[in-house]
Chain A
Amino acid sequence: MWEFRERLAREFEARRANNVRYSLRAFAAFLGTDHSTLSQILRGKRDIPSNQLRLWGKKLGMTSEELAVYVASQYVPSRQARDRQEQLRHWTAEGLAIVTDSCHWQIVELTREPGFRGDCRTVAVQVGVPVDHVNVALARLLRLRLLEIGPDRQWKHLLGPGRHTETSFRKLALTRIRELAARDGVKLLRVQG
């Protein structure tokens, strides 16, 4: 919506450039609205209804093609909204992967076994999934700081001391996702009970 707002602002400034006495009230009267509404719109405090946009566009002499672009732009999320949606989509997908794919837990369990070798091809055979599947899960475990591969090239889980179950692993992983999402400014819903 800001694009049409910019257009209105430019039109007003152009009219004032021709006549320093041209007031916002006069511009509002030309458009067929009141001064207060127009002021709020120009300051970004109020949206422009679609029907109003079409009417004002015509009054400003826009072609139907120009108007169509401005109307379409109303439905395009702002960059900020788009980035936020993308972050939400990413963190939700990370959470869903943890909840639905036991491969993450199976990899963590394998790292505890004596003689474990950090070879994704071997892990894939042991877990019974393709190597790519292991690699996607491994990268997720690294991103979520649930596992590390240190200078000794050993895979070590970062779940803390004590024995974990798959349920406690998921709980820890989802808590980690919530923390990392919050760092990105995304607040994931918490369901009580």
Chain B
Amino acid sequence: MGNPVMQFQILSTAPDETARFYSDLFGWTVDANNPLGYREISTGAREGIQGGIWPSPPQAPTFVQLFIAVDNVRTFSRKAEGAGAKVVIPPTSLPDGSEMAILHDPQGMSFGIVTRS
């Protein structure tokens, strides 16, 4: 089945400005009408993955995380820790019933894991 990249997430200290830039440039639509107020990005294409924008704290840079599908976020978090990753945000349920976690790989790069929908 594999572990595909399901979505990208832009972390931005200026999420409204980021949303406006990509909407204007690529015609993406951004919708925050959900319980998290999460800016969901629809690229308008069937190819590729969709994304979202999350506000980052002032001390953080603006960067992109990739979310990778796993069968079980808790099991996979432990597996990732065993491989040298660090869990930054522990397994957390999302309003749609899926679960996600944020980790840093051994080189410090941030990525997310999410249950398959």
Contacts and interface: CB of A to CB of B under 8 A. Distances in A.
A18 to B, nearest CB: 41
B89 A143 contact: yes
B90 to A, nearest CB: 7
B32 A149 contact: no
Contacts of A65: none
Nearest to A153: B93
Given A121-B35, A131-B37, A142 B59 contact: no
Contacts of A179: none
A51 B45 CA distance: 60
Q: Binding site of B, secondary structure by majority: helix, strand, loop or mixed?
A: loop
Nearest to B88: A143
Interface stretch (A66-74, A133-141, A167-175): A133-141
B54 A135 contact: yes
Interface in B63-84: none
Contacts of A83: 108
Nearest to B14: A132
A148 interface: yes
A151 B88 contact: no
B58 A132 contact: no
A136 B59 CA distance: 11
Contact of B89 (A124, A135, A142): A142
Contacts of B97: 153
B30 to A, nearest CB: 13
Report the interface size class on chain B. Answer: 20 to 34
A97 B32 CA distance: 25
A152 B108 CA distance: 31
A136 B88 CA distance: 14
A89 B35 contact: no
A149 B92 contact: yes
B27 interface: no
Nearest to B36: A120
A176 to B, nearest CB: 13
Given A148-B90, A149-B93, 4 more contacts: A93-B58, A97-B57, A139-B89, A143-B89
* Shortest Cβ-Cβ A-B pairs, 7 listed: A93-B59, A131-B37, A132-B55, A119-B35, A120-B37, A153-B93, A149-B92
20 contacts: A83-B108, A89-B59, A90-B60, A93-B57, A93-B58, A93-B59, A94-B57, A94-B59, A97-B57, A131-B32, A132-B15, A132-B55, A133-B55, A134-B37, A135-B37, A140-B57, A142-B92, A148-B92, A152-B93, A153-B95
